[in-house]
Amino acid sequence: MERHHIVFLERDSIRGEFRRPDFPHTYDEYPLSTPDEVTARVGGAGIIITNKAVLRGELLSTLPRLKMIAIAATGTDNVDLEWCRANGIVASNIRGYAVHTVPEHVLTLALALRRNVPAYGRDVRGGKWQRAPMFCFFDHPIRDLHGGTMGIAGRGSLGQGVARLAEAFGMRVLWAEHKGAAEVRPGYTAFDTVLREADVLSLHCPLNDRTRGLIGEAELRAMKPEAVLINTARGGLVDEPALARALQEGWIAGAGFDVLSKEPPREGNVLLEPDLPNFILTPHVAWASAKAMQALLDQLTANIEAFARGEPRNRVA
């Protein structure tokens, strides 16, 4: 069996025990790798492990020993898959590891927003309850999930996990057809109809040329004023300035995001403004329960070992 040199570019991006592959290899790992550091670190690599480090064809074409890219995530937009396919490089991703943790995060955000938890929490900290004339106050509408409609864009394992939880809460689930599709597949609902009918719209799409900007001003205006938008997928799916305006002007009732178009947002982001009403932002951690991260690392090792046996799995290239 060929002796591969494995380079793990972002070991600290995933917590848990990484079992080294069970075949002869050499190994380097780095806590994190900046864009400037990636080039020097992958020079002799036969297998590169990347989570979010960007690997484009310009760099990959300079790596004569490269055989595989093991993506330590489900999303693949940071890897030049077209170049990999054209040049016979195997690329595999991680699947199904977050089928419980991401849906739970989605429902957490949806519950908090539908019940206006951020607004009530802010009011209590500001002393409003302490000054209230009776035992409670009703300044913000409280809406149940039960009896509402969950619209889901993306019918992979995460979308299906959200559907299971939504149905357990007594919600009707609508699966959104591709935006602009000429025909609606059995079991799906036209994208525009989902926008109009959803009380909660949850995004679970990959980020690519077809889905970038999936939700913009027109889509936000088409949603119910009492609806909330949840995005735990990729920041680029939503026009962020349009969302900020939608929240400020009340086009929709709230939004819960775990992702931004650029992460971390070192140069700021319109969704970080302090005056956005009923908006919750978490730092891309919906996937990151301890159990899910260990499952990811176990699958990562399995993907690399399968490649070394000549039986690559979870291929995206």
Tally the C-alpha atoms within 13 A of residue 139's C-alpha that lie toward its C-beta.
14
Residue 1 pLDDT level (bands cut at 50, 70, 90): low
**Could you check whether 4-97+291-308 and 101-281 share the same CATH topology?**
yes
What pLDDT shows up at residue 2?
76
| pLDDT, averaged across the chain | 97
Domain 4-97+291-308 - what CATH class? alpha beta
CB-CB contact of 67 with 89 (8 Å) = yes
Q: Average pLDDT for residues 181-195, to the nearest whole number? A: 98
> What CATH number does the domain located at 101-281 have?
3.40.50.720
Q: Which of 7, 45, 2, 6 is nearest to 309 (CA)?
A: 2
Which residue stretches of the chain are H helix?
35-41, 57-60, 81-86, 101-114, 117-125, 128-131, 157-168, 191-197, 217-222, 240-249, 290-308
Give the residue from 109, 103, 224, 112 showing the smallest Cα distance to 166: 103
Beta bridge partners of 281: 257
Residues 6+ apart with CB under 8 A from 214: 153, 179, 203, 205, 237, 238
Bridge partners, residue 238, by sequence? 215
Query: Whole-structure pTM over 0.75, yes or no?
Result: yes
Cα-based distances in Å from 2 to 18, 46, 90: 21, 10, 15
Q: pLDDT tens-digit profile of 85-136?
A: 999 999 999 999 999 999 999 999 999 999 999 999 999 999 999 999 999 9
Q: State the catalytic residues.
A: 234, 263, 284
Question: Where exactly are the structural domains of the chain?
Answer: 4-97+291-308, 101-281
Backbone angle region of 299, left / alpha / beta, with phi > 0 → left and psi within -120 to 50 → alpha: alpha
Q: What is the mean pLDDT of the segment spanning 142-155?
A: 98
The phi and psi torsions of 213 (rounded to 5 degrees) equal: 70, 25
